[in-house]
């Protein structure tokens, strides 16, 4: 069996604009397979499904340096000592079932014609990854219906399924499922409701008076995480490594808090990619939050229209409005976004990378990348001021800004400036 290559196909040719993938700001600084789509990223979930391991990653050229900095795997280069590879699309966030392709075969999604997976020789794999086109000799099988996510709100739509799958395959959760809750060595006045698994890593800390409601799914508290007094956590939920849930927070079902986050208030059905802060009261629901985001005290979002109708959204300013197929949808927040106190974020808002919002009224439904938005005007966030802020914020979490990330942010800023 061949080793896996996970590829990001956003730069490949698509004939149907409806099926062309566009994730807005959430893939400005990461590949599609690096998005946290449950407790795991899509790449982590794919690797778990494939016991022979991952051989390489393939991404758009402008992302290759930052993806290479984050990974030990080869990026945009195939190992030359292997005869064939199993290629998997990084937008296949929920790969259910077994892969039964043999060399020279590919699975195609209809409509759209995107390659979902393919078992290819070295030559055919190299050709496809570089061009986005399969050779005419490849035998194709058509899957009727959508397998690949195309928009950020579809990730929120799959969150419940992906998160539950991740937790039910976690060694910590599997171990917790086989033991009684009394074996967790928690403080005496921690309350546990329900019978699903509660998995607490030995290095995590749970304070007295925390409440875990396990009636609707498991909860996993990962390494070094902290659950402060008075917190209520509903399953299914994942709290990532070295993250803190602050006092008297309400964490509702289908919430993912990635590594090194600090969260508080009311949060539900939301993904924190990692390294983000929502450390004060306020509601956040049905949302995706990128890295290095900070929500000021009292920031609150809407995730339901007053009409209870289907939510439409703009993936970026000036793009056409799209039907999301969702009744509940909050905000899609790009990396390095900062919101001032009491910011009100409307249903289906998309906030571009590096935006600074300081308004007394709700920001636009699609916020420009690197925009500095106040009640008086909207102007470009000055590069020198922005990058200085990045360095300060990241240093507080003992993370250095790499040269490749600085270059990527600079190119995105130049694009926003119209250069």
**How confident is the model over 23-58, as pLDDT tens digits?**
999 999 999 999 999 999 999 999 988 878 999 999
pLDDT tens digit string along 15-25?
777 789 999 99
Distance CA 271, CA 266 (A): 13
pLDDT in tens, 53-112: 999 999 999 999 999 999 999 999 999 999 999 999 999 998 765 668 999 999 999 888
CA distance 342 to 124: 54
The partner residues of 278 in beta bridges, in order of sequence, read 263
φ, ψ dihedrals at 24, nearest 5°: 60, -140
**What are the structural domains of the chain?**
3-150 (3.90.550), 155-366 (2.160.10.10)
Q: Please give the distance of CA 198 from its chain centroid, rounded to a whole number.
A: 23
Q: Is 63 exposed, middle or buried (0-12, 13-18, 19+ CB in 10 A)?
A: buried
Q: What is the pLDDT of residues 300-319, one digit of tens each?
A: 999 999 999 999 999 999 99
User: φ and ψ at 240, to 5 degrees?
Assistant: -80, 175
- Look at residue 1 and tell me whether its pLDDT is greater than 80: no
Question: Is residue 288 within a helix (H) or strand (E), and if so which, with residue range?
Answer: strand 288-289
């Amino acid at each position: 069996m061949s080793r896996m290559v996970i590829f990001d196909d956003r730069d490949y040719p698509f004939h149907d604009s409806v099926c062309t993938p566009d994730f807005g700001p959430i893939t400005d600084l990461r590949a599609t397979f690096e998005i946290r789509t449950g407790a795991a990223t899509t790449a982590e979930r794919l690797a778990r499904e494939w016991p022979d391991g991952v051989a390489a990653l393939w991404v758009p050229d402008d992302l290759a340096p930052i993806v290479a900095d984050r990974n030990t795997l080869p990026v945009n280069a195939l190992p030359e000592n292997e005869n064939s590879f199993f290629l998997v699309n990084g937008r296949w966030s929920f790969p259910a079932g077994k892969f039964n392709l043999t060399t020279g075969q590919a699975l195609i999604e209809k409509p759209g014609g995107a390659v979902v997976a393919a078992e290819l020789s070295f030559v055919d794999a190299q050709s496809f990854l570089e061009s986005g086109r399969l050779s005419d000799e490849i035998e194709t099988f058509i899957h009727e219906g959508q397998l690949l996510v195309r928009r950020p709100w579809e990730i929120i739509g799959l969150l419940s399924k992906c998160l539950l799958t991740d937790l039910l395959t976690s060694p910590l959760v599997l171990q917790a499922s086989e033991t009684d809750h009394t074996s967790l060595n928690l403080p005496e006045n921690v309350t546990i409701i329900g019978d699903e698994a509660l998995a607490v890593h030995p290095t995590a800390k749970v304070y007295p008076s925390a409440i875990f409601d396990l009636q609707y799914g498991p909860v996993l508290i990962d390494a070094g995480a902290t659950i402060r007094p008075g917190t209520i956590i509903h399953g299914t939920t994942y709290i990532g490594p070295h993250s803190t849930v602050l006092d008297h927070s309400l964490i509702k079902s289908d919430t993912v808090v990635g590594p090194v986050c600090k969260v508080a208030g009311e949060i539900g059905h939301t993904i924190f990619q990692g390294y983000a802060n929502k450390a004060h009261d306020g509601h956040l629901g049905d949302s995706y939050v990128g890295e290095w985001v900070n929500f000021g005290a009292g920031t609150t979002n809407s995730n339901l229209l007053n009409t209870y109708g289907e939510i439409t959204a703009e993936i970026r300013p000036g793009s056409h409005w799209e039907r999301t197929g969702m009744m509940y949808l909050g905000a899609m927040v790009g990396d390095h976004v900062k919101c001032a106190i009491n910011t009100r974020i409307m249903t289906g808002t998309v906030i571009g990378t590096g935006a600074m919002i300081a308004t007394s009224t709700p920001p636009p439904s699609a916020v420009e990348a690197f925009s500095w938005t106040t009640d008086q005007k909207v102007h470009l966030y000055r590069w020198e001021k922005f990058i200085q802020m990045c360095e300060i914020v990241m240093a507080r979490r003992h993370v250095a800004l790499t040269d490749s990330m600085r270059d990527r942010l600079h190119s995105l800023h130049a694009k926003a400036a119209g250069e």
